[in-house]
Amino acid sequence: MHVSALPASVTDSASDTLTDPMLSSLDGVRVSYAGSVAALDEVSLLFARGEQVAIIGPSGAGKTTLLHTLGCAIRPTAGRVRVLGRDPWAMPYKALHRLRSELFIAPQSPPLPPRQRVVNAVLAGRVPQWTTWNALKSLLHPLDAGAAHHALAHFRVEDKLFLRCDRLSGGERQRVGLARLLVSKARLLLLDEPVSALDPVLAKGALETLQQEAFARGATLVVGLHAVDLALARFARLIGLRSGRVAFDLPRAKVTDALLAQLYGAELGVAFQEPPSTDDARLKVIRCL
């Protein structure tokens, strides 16, 4: 398993990075929707600049809510959020808008308009850097089709450049959504299940590309993943989320099978017919989820 080399500062303990003005954090954050159901409860996390983190947990654990709260899309009911060193909810609206252009949220299902061509869907990631006039001109005749092509090539879908989005398969759409990220200039990348529709080979390649891009930009990468094996293989730090709370926040080496079994508790119970041996348990934790 190839692991891309990360700068030493990223693997240091969190205390060294507290003085970094570009860190993002959640502090005692609680997010609850209508009623009393808390999607996030007392979550406190710190993300240094350039860190690459995977968030794992069972369905409904709050991965999506956490990513969106970090991305200034959801305002927490309690607690404080810092994004790239700033408090998004204490800013005037214009400053928040500018802050948003420095982050990139990739939702679980790629938000591509069905009848739009791939080239425009990808270049939409560059629009925050363009003037309104240029953005409109690009719709009529793409201003930087080469960049879109280059970005798509990283995910092996460059031949779809001028096709309509609704003519693509699910996996192709997901890769187009990721290509949009490549042409943006964001420094905080928040990805929700970015490779869920890709086969294992493509998924590994796509994650590798994303991580290399994040490293090259010095961007902070936070990825919500369902595939625990991918998370263990590719990320130096894993955060386990369960029922809106942080179950653990550890470097990869310290994540044991017992912790994983605890995290996915109820789901694990359904998958087994009888008490397994410890070896079987380790294998099944990685494959069934």
Partner 1 sequence: MSTVVRSVGPAPASLRDPSGPARIAWTIAAILILIPAAWLAEFNPATLMGEASLRATGQFLATFFPPALGLDFLELVARAAWKTVAIATVGTTLAVLIAIPFALIANRQLSVSALAEERMCFSCAAVRTGVRWLLIALRTVPEIVWALLFVRAVGLGDAAGVIAIALTYGGMLGKVYMEILESNDARTTRALLVNGASRMQALLYGTLPVCLPELVSYTVYRWECAIRASVIMGFVGAGGLGMQMELSLKMFAGGEVLTMLAVFVALVWFADLVSAALRRWLG
Partner 2 sequence: MSIPASAAPRFPVKSVLVPTVFLVFLGACITTLSGDWSGLFSRSAVANMLAFFVSFFPPAGSVAFLQRVVAAAMETLAISLIGTLLAAIGGLALALPASGRSGKIAKALTRWVANVLRAVPELVWAAMIVVATGLGPLAGTLALAIHTTGVLGRLFAESLENIAPEPYEALRRNGVSPMPAFWYATFPQVLPQLVSYTLYRWENNIRAAAVLGVVGAGGLGQMLYVYLSLFQVHEASTVLIAVVVLVGLVDAASNATRARLIR
Which residue in 26, 70, 99, 176 binds partner 2 (CB under 8 A)? Answer: 99
- Residues in 21-80 that interact with partner 1 by CB under 8 A: none
Per rule CB under 8 A, is residue 217 in the interface with partner 2? no
Per rule CB under 8 A, is residue 73 in the interface with partner 2? yes
Q: x-or-dash pattern for partner 2, window 33-72, by CB under 8 A?
A: --------------------------------------xx
Residue whose CB is less far from partner 1, 7 or 28? 7
- Residues in 86-115 that interact with partner 1 by CB under 8 A: none
- Residues in 216-275 that interact with partner 1 by CB under 8 A: 216-218
Q: How far is the CB of 149 from partner 2 (least distance, A)?
A: 18
Which residue in 27, 41, 208, 213 binds partner 1 (CB under 8 A)? Answer: 213
Instruction: Answer with the entry of partner 2, partner 1, none that 125 interacts with (C-beta below 5 to 8 A by kind).
Output: partner 2
Q: What is the DSSP string of the chain?
A: -------HHHHS-GGGGTT-TT-EEEEEEEEE-SSS-EEEEEEEEEE-TT-EEEEE-STTSSHHHHHHHHTTSS--SEEEEEBTTB-GGGS-HHHHHHHHTTEEEE-SS----TTSBHHHHHHGGGGGGS-HHHHHHHHHS-TTHHHHHHHHHHTT-GGGTTSBGGGS-HHHHHHHHHHHHHHS--SEEEEESTTTTS-HHHHHHHHHHHHHHHHHHT-EEEEEES-HHHHHHH-SEEEEEETTEEEEEEEGGG--HHHHHHHTHHHHHHH-SSPPPHHHHHHHHHH--
Q: How far is the CB of 212 from partner 1 (least distance, A)?
A: 6
Q: x-or-dash pattern for partner 2, window 121-150, by CB under 8 A?
A: ---xx-xx-x-x--xx--x-----------
